[in-house]
């Protein structure tokens, strides 16, 4: 039996129609600039995001790295959230490979960082003890803050602050289409405040590989050279870009379905004794999308030893895959995506109930 895989929206498999689009794609050597499908994807994404140019990149991690290398140099400082993907899960690439220093500000539960705290974090450019503050990085949707969407208004406030200090602003928009769908706003409202934006094709959009980095022509020219430097020059990768183009055409509007499934899941989880799901009860200035985080409290059901790791392993035996996270062993994440339908959600909830009640 195929498991119900709620570990991530990166586990999706290309549909037959997507595979067909990949099979018939025109390709060429993209390091020679000769892959027409990659050009098309880069142009299409740049147009959709309201930027001058785009660059096809192997992954979200590489897109963020290349963007930061293009904006900041050795010894510069970047302001980012302490729960941001870039800080937590990108192997410290900006420091290891770019000698870029990071200033981590606390992410608030709605994925934002406090604007006043950001202002206080700005370094005095005349102080020889301080690394110069060069850029700010936001994440939308915010993964570790529950997949919450940051509003255009907040992004604008950050951009205004950045302009005051002449900083670049980069958006890790791995799931930016989810944010636009959840907020019901044009995606350009969410990109206009940024000098550069990375979006992933391989998450909710269901493509097997790839991200696109967008920004001004001059920025993308710099990023192009840096992509080659980190080994990201790909050859006949138009077969991958074709999957991205297909995803952009067919898989954006349907994200609303993933959000609906996530809401049903969150509310169902919140009703189970021993589980707490903040997003089922906390209203937010942004909006919830396709990630569902919850905590497991074994003591509340008289089984103090029961934690997220145990729950994850019991669920696996029952054909439901989900990640246990965090050092306290209490957090759990489930993610809805194109390969999950409403009956999978019902099954997952039934299995959760059964694990928690010990039956």
Ligand X SMILES: Cc1ncc(COP(=O)(O)O)c(C=O)c1O
Interhelix angle 238-250/16-23, nearest 10 degrees: 140
Segment near ligand X (CB under 6 A); pick from 43-51, 59-67, 162-170, 262-270:
59-67
35 lies in the site for ligand X, by CB under 6 A: no
Minimum CB separation of residue 84 from ligand X in Å reads 8
* Closer by beta carbon to ligand X, 39 or else 323: 323
Instruction: Tell me if 321 sits within 8 A of 4, measured CB to CB.
Output: yes
Q: Report the first-to-last Cα separation within the chain, whole angstroms.
A: 21
Minimum CB separation of residue 91 from ligand X in Å reads 10
Minimum CB separation of residue 286 from ligand X in Å reads 14
Minimum CB separation of residue 202 from ligand X in Å reads 6
* Closer by beta carbon to ligand X, 112 or else 351: 112
Among 137, 148, 199, 200, binds ligand X (CB under 6 A): 200
* Closer by beta carbon to ligand X, 59 or else 314: 59
Beta bridge partners of 104: 80
* Closer by beta carbon to ligand X, 340 or else 355: 340
85 lies in the site for ligand X, by CB under 6 A: yes
* Closer by beta carbon to ligand X, 64 or else 133: 64
* Closer by beta carbon to ligand X, 175 or else 224: 175
290 lies in the site for ligand X, by CB under 6 A: no
Segment near ligand X (CB under 6 A); pick from 54-62, 96-104, 232-240, 331-339:
54-62
* Closer by beta carbon to ligand X, 37 or else 61: 61
- DSSP secondary-structure letter at 114? -
Both tokens of 44, joined, read: 């299409």
Nearest to residue 198, comparing CAs of 33, 84, 289? 84
Among 30, 35, 42, 172, binds ligand X (CB under 6 A): 172
Among 15, 59, 276, 331, binds ligand X (CB under 6 A): 59
Query: Which residue's Cβ has the minimum distance to ligand X?
Result: 60
Residues 91-150 that bind ligand X (CB under 6 A): 139, 143
* Closer by beta carbon to ligand X, 108 or else 301: 108
5 lies in the site for ligand X, by CB under 6 A: no
Instruction: Tell me if 7 sits within 8 A of 291, measured CB to CB.
Output: no
Using the Cα atoms of residue 200, residue 202, residue 204 and residue 205 in order, give the sign of their dihedral: positive
Instruction: Tell me if 150 sits within 8 A of 108, measured CB to CB.
Output: no
Residue at token pair 């934690």: 307
Q: Is 175 helix (H, G, I), strand (E, B) or coil?
A: coil
Beta strands in the chain (DSSP E): 4-5, 53-57, 77-81, 101-105, 133-139, 168-173, 196-200, 211-215, 275-276, 291-296, 320-321, 323-325, 331-335
Question: How many Cα atoms are found within 13 Å in the side-chain-facing hemisphere of 343?
Answer: 1
Residues that bind ligand X (CB under 6 A): 59-61, 85, 139, 143, 172, 174, 200, 202, 211
């Amino acid at each position: 039996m195929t498991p119900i895989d709620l570990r991530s929206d990166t586990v999706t498999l290309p549909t037959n129609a997507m595979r067909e689009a990949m099979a018939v794609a025109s390709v060429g050597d993209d390091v020679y600039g000769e892959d027409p499908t990659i050009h098309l994807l880069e142009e299409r994404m740049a147009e959709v995001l309201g930027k001058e140019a785009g660059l096809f990149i192997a992954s979200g991690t590489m897109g963020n790295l290349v963007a930061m290398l293009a904006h900041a140099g050795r010894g510069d400082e970047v302001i980012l959230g302490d729960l941001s993907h870039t800080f937590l899960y990108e192997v410290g690439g900006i420091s290891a490979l770019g000698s870029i220093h990071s200033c981590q500000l606390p992410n608030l539960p709605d994925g934002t960082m406090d604007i006043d705290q950001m202002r206080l974090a700005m370094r005095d450019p005349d102080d020889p003890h301080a690394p110069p503050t060069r850029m700010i990085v936001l994440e939308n949707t915010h993964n570790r803050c529950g997949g919450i969407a940051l509003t255009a208004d907040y992004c604008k406030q950050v951009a205004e602050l950045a302009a005051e200090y002449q900083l670049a602003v980069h958006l890790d928009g791995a799931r930016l289409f989810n944010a636009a769908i959840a907020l019901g706003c044009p995606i350009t409202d969410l990109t206009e405040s940024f000098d550069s934006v990375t979006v992933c094709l391989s998450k909710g959009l269901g493509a097997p590989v790839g991200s696109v980095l967008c920004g001004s022509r001059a920025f993308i020219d710099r990023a192009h050279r840096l992509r080659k430097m980190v080994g990201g020059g790909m050859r006949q990768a138009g077969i991958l870009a074709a999957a991205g183009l297909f995803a952009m055409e067919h898989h954006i509007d349907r994200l609303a379905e993933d959000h609906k499934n996530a809401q049903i899941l969150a509310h169902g989880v919140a009703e189970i004794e021993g589980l707490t799901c903040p997003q089922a009860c906390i209203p937010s200035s942004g909006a919830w999308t396709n990630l569902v985080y919850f905590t497991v409290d074994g003591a509340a059901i008289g089984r103090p030893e029961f934690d997220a790791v145990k729950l994850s392993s019991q669920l696996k035996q029952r054909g439901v895959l989900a990640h246990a996270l965090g050092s306290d062993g209490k957090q759990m994440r489930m993610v809805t995506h194109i390969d999950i339908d409403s009956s999978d959600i019902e099954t997952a909830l039934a299995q959760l109930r059964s694990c928690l009640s010990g039956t």
